[in-house]
Amino acid sequence: MTYPAAENRFAIIGGGASGSMVLAYLTRNATKDSLAGVTFDLFDPNGFGCGGIAYGKALPGMVLNSVRTEMSPWDGPAFRDHFNVHAAHTFEARGAGGYLDFLQQETLWAIKQLRQAGAQINLHRTAVTPEQHGDKFALVDPDGKAATPPLPAKRIVLAAGYGPNPHFADLKPYAGNGYIHSLYDGFDPAVMDGPRRKTVAFLGSGPALYDFVNAINDDLDSLDLVVISPSGAPMGTRDLSIEGSETRITPFNMLAAGQATCEALTEAVKKDIRIAQERGATNRRIGLDIVRNLGPALAAMDEEEAIAFRNSPLVAQLRHWATPIPVESARRLQTFSPRFVQQRLRPEDISLKRGRFEIAAPDGTLHADFIVNGTGHGRHNAPALEALKKAGLARVDPKTGVLATDEGGIALAPSGLLCLGPAVHPGTDGMESFAPGAEAIAAHIHRTAAAARAPAFVRTNAPPNRQQMTAVPA
Ligand SMILES: Cc1cc2nc3c(=O)[nH]c(=O)nc-3n(C[C@H](O)[C@H](O)[C@H](O)COP(=O)(O)OP(=O)(O)OC[C@H]3O[C@@H](n4cnc5c(N)ncnc54)[C@H](O)[C@@H]3O)c2cc1C
């Protein structure tokens, strides 16, 4: 008996950068007919390959934070080469005319390759949520209809991306009066135009701040910029002259056994930083490699202590170091001569009075015409992931702050659904950091598909001489 072809099926939920990267890795081992009889159902309400939040929702002027060679980990120079030939801008645009075009082209190419390898690809322009039915999962659309036959957990890949920005949601009633909740959700920079000089209070000093200054109009005289954030400082800039020759560091003290308290781990990490700096490592390298290893270090600690360390100023600083921004973005910010205010702002510090915002700051009241929230999106609060958490099919690991997984880092606990992207990644986000997960998922899909196509045979208790062979489904 062969396993029915219709059931040699996989679903990928979410066609942002991560979902598309899985397709790119799938093409690596897809030879002629290797995927015959295999069906892929690809889901995204915005179209698979839409670029997701980072590239699909980028405004003109928003630039890549990573360098060209980091943006196509499945084929090192592919984006660099595309950029040199096709880019419509002199700078690395994240959206149209830049990386978005490349990602769409790679997705279409991957789909073509997989079809040539015999796969059937079904594109569904809808959102779906996995719902458990016995030992399988139905993928249910917003009308409550199942979009595919029920599938085992290990045939479903979730790449739903960041969820809606949860910070300062209390300020949403001010939308329309100068409060902008998200740059990536229909923000029109023209609202800030006008004859009078305006003051903008920007909340957060991470990459979104640089997206904002890169996206707003060139009329520099019309804006006073106040940046309010816990660090009260701009981000570091990328130094491309040394990045190429950086070598990885291993934070031995952080990883050594026995760092049970926040204080002990802080001391260990500071020691690692000192040693690495003495050996000439850059802050970017130090930030990247310490943050990369946070998962195991946090897992070895008591919960309360792990949470305290994860939220400490030291980790905030390391995350900043790990993601320096391009020099051009830093220069663009400086043209606004921003004033930085160090404050962990709360919604109750803000009020709207006679058409202007009043912000209670440490050195007195600040006034602003606009407040722009640039404090980031939730790692695992995409609606589909929220639904899984509610149904007990996924849970947040309090120590790492991301969804708990098996040892391999991709199968959600306890459901076993495969997951990729910020929801399961305790380190620094980016194409390069998600690549190992995408590669592992693609390898798993090939293995599972091949096992179902050429089933293993086992002996049953059949009489001698008439040994019956039975297929073992994957
Ligand atoms: C503003 C910003 C800039 C960034 N810049 C860079 C950069 O320059 N370089 C870099 O390497 N990294 C960058 N990053 C990191 C970035 O997170 C990753 O590179 C990548 O974009 C994450 O992609 P994703 O597919 O996991 O998530 P997303 O981009 O959020 O995509 C998720 C997709 O899933 C779909 N979806 C959600 N729920 C469902 C559902 N239930 N059913 C079907 N579909 C669903 C959504 O429509 C969306 O298209 C940036 C991140 C942000 C937020």
**334/22 Cα distance (integer angstroms):** 38
In a domain, 467, yes or no: no
Cα angle, residue 304 at apex, residues 302 and 417 outer, rounded to 5°: 75
In a domain, 308, yes or no: yes
CA of 15 to the centre of ligand 1 (A): 9
The domain of 361 spans 169-236+340-373
Same domain, residue pair 186 and 261: no
Tell whether the model's pLDDT for residue 153 goes beyond 50. Answer: yes
Q: Are 442 and 450 in contact (CB under 8 A)?
A: no
Q: Are 413 and 404 in contact (CB under 8 A)?
A: yes
Amino acid at 272: D
Residue 52 tokens read as 């997701």
Position with higher pLDDT, 270 vs 89:
270
Q: Which residue has a Cα nearest atom 52 of ligand 1?
A: 54
**422/149 Cα distance (integer angstroms):** 28
> Quick check: helix, strand or coil at residue 305?
helix
In a domain, 269, yes or no: yes
Listing DSSP states for 170-220 in one string gives GGGGGBTTTEE--TTTT--GGGG-SSS-EEEEEE--SHHHHHHHHHS-S-G
Same domain, residue pair 38 and 115: yes
325 Cα distance to chain centroid = 17
Ligand 1 pocket, Cβ-based, cut-off 6 angstroms: 13-19, 43-46, 50, 52-54, 64-66, 94, 127-129, 159-162, 207, 211, 382, 384, 421-422, 429-431
Question: For a pLDDT cut of 90, what percent of the chain falls above it?
Answer: 78
DSSP state, residue 3: P
Smallest CA-to-CA distance from 235 within 215, 213, 254 is with 213
Amino acid at 240: L
In a domain, 473, yes or no: no
Q: What is the pLDDT of residues 170-202, one digit of tens each?
A: 999 999 999 999 999 999 998 888 888 899 999
Q: What is the pLDDT of residues 353-372, one digit of tens each?
A: 999 999 999 889 999 999 99
Question: Which CATH number fits the domain that encloses residue 199?
Answer: 3.50.50
In a domain, 439, yes or no: yes
Predicted TM-score of the model (pTM): 0.92
Same domain, residue pair 232 and 347: yes
pLDDT of residue 221: 63
Across the range 324-342, mean pLDDT stands at 94
**93/91 Cα distance (integer angstroms):** 6
**103/63 Cα distance (integer angstroms):** 15
In a domain, 470, yes or no: no
Q: What is the pLDDT of residues 369-394, one digit of tens each?
A: 999 999 999 999 999 999 999 999 99
**Strand pairing report for 198-203 and 223-229:** parallel
pLDDT of residue 464: 41
Q: Which residue has a Cα nearest atom 51 of ligand 1?
A: 54
Domain count, the chain: 3
In a domain, 330, yes or no: no
Residue with structure tokens 């001489």?
A: 465
Same domain, residue pair 297 and 424: no
Q: What is the pLDDT of residues 115-140, one digit of tens each?
A: 999 999 999 999 999 999 999 999 99
**474/471 Cα distance (integer angstroms):** 9
Q: Which residue among 12, 13, 18, 183 is best mutated to probe the pocket of ligand 1, counting the most ligand atoms within 8 A of its Cβ?
A: 18
**Which of the listed residues 287, 322, 357 is the one where a domain comes to its end?**
322
**363/373 Cα distance (integer angstroms):** 21
Same domain, residue pair 140 and 196: no
CA of 54 to the centre of ligand 1 (A): 5
C-alpha distances in Å from residue 357, one per residue of 133, 144, 189, 337, 433: 51, 43, 19, 21, 39
**368/349 Cα distance (integer angstroms):** 13
Q: Which residue among 48, 210, 429 is best mutated to probe the pocket of ligand 1, counting the most ligand atoms within 8 A of its Cβ?
A: 429
Q: Are 259 and 300 in contact (CB under 8 A)?
A: yes
Q: What is the pLDDT of residues 43-94, one digit of tens each?
A: 999 999 999 999 999 999 999 999 898 999 999 999 999 999 998 888 899 9
Tell whether the model's pLDDT for residue 474 goes beyond 80. Answer: no
Same domain, residue pair 212 and 309: no
Q: If pLDDT is split at 50, 70 and 90, which confidence band does 220 have?
A: low
Same domain, residue pair 140 and 13: yes
**Which of the listed residues 373, 393, 415 is the one where a domain comes to its end?**
373
Smallest CA-to-CA distance from 284 within 239, 330, 230, 233 is with 239
pLDDT of residue 455: 58
> Quick check: helix, strand or coil at residue 393?
coil
Q: Which residue among 20, 21, 22, 53 is best mutated to probe the pocket of ligand 1, counting the most ligand atoms within 8 A of its Cβ?
A: 53
73 Cα distance to chain centroid = 15
pLDDT of residue 1: 34
pLDDT of residue 42: 98
Listing DSSP states for 22-88 in one string gives HHHHHHHT--TTTTTT-EEEEE-TT-TTS-IIIIISPPTT-B-SS-GGGS-GGGTTHHHHHHHHH-S
Question: Which CATH number fits the domain that encloses residue 40?
Answer: 3.50.50.60
**Strand pairing report for 370-373 and 198-203:** parallel
CA of 182 to the centre of ligand 1 (A): 15
**121/39 Cα distance (integer angstroms):** 6
pLDDT of residue 263: 93
Q: Are 418 and 441 in contact (CB under 8 A)?
A: yes
Across the range 160-172, mean pLDDT stands at 94
Q: Which residue has a Cα nearest atom 3 of ligand 1?
A: 54
C-alpha distances in Å from residue 391, one per residue of 129, 132, 425: 11, 9, 21
Strand pairing partners for 365? 360
Residue 279 tokens read as 């050996």
Q: If pLDDT is split at 50, 70 and 90, which confidence band does 457 have?
A: very low
Amino acid at 222: S
List of residues 6+ apart from 144 with CB closer than 8 A: none
Same domain, residue pair 143 and 15: yes
Q: If pLDDT is split at 50, 70 and 90, which confidence band does 454 have?
A: low
Same domain, residue pair 84 and 120: yes
Largest CA distance in the chain: 94
Same domain, residue pair 442 and 299: no
> Quick check: helix, strand or coil at residue 264?
helix
**264/256 Cα distance (integer angstroms):** 11
Q: If pLDDT is split at 50, 70 and 90, which confidence band does 470 have?
A: very low
Same domain, residue pair 358 and 449: no
pLDDT of residue 320: 87
CA of 14 to the centre of ligand 1 (A): 9
Residue with structure tokens 């606004």?
A: 336
pLDDT of residue 410: 95
Question: For a pLDDT cut of 70, what percent of the chain falls above it?
Answer: 94
In a domain, 335, yes or no: no
> Quick check: helix, strand or coil at residue 343?
coil
Same domain, residue pair 19 and 80: yes
Q: Which residue has a Cα nearest atom 2 of ligand 1?
A: 54
Q: Are 316 and 230 in contact (CB under 8 A)?
A: yes
Query: What mean pLDDT, rounded, does the chain reach?
Result: 91
Sheet bearing 364-368, strands edge to edge: 350-353, 356-361, 364-368
Tell whether the model's pLDDT for residue 472 goes beyond 50. Answer: no
Helix (H), strand (E) at residue 137: strand 136-140
Tell whether the model's pLDDT for residue 460 goes beyond 60. Answer: no
pLDDT of residue 465: 42
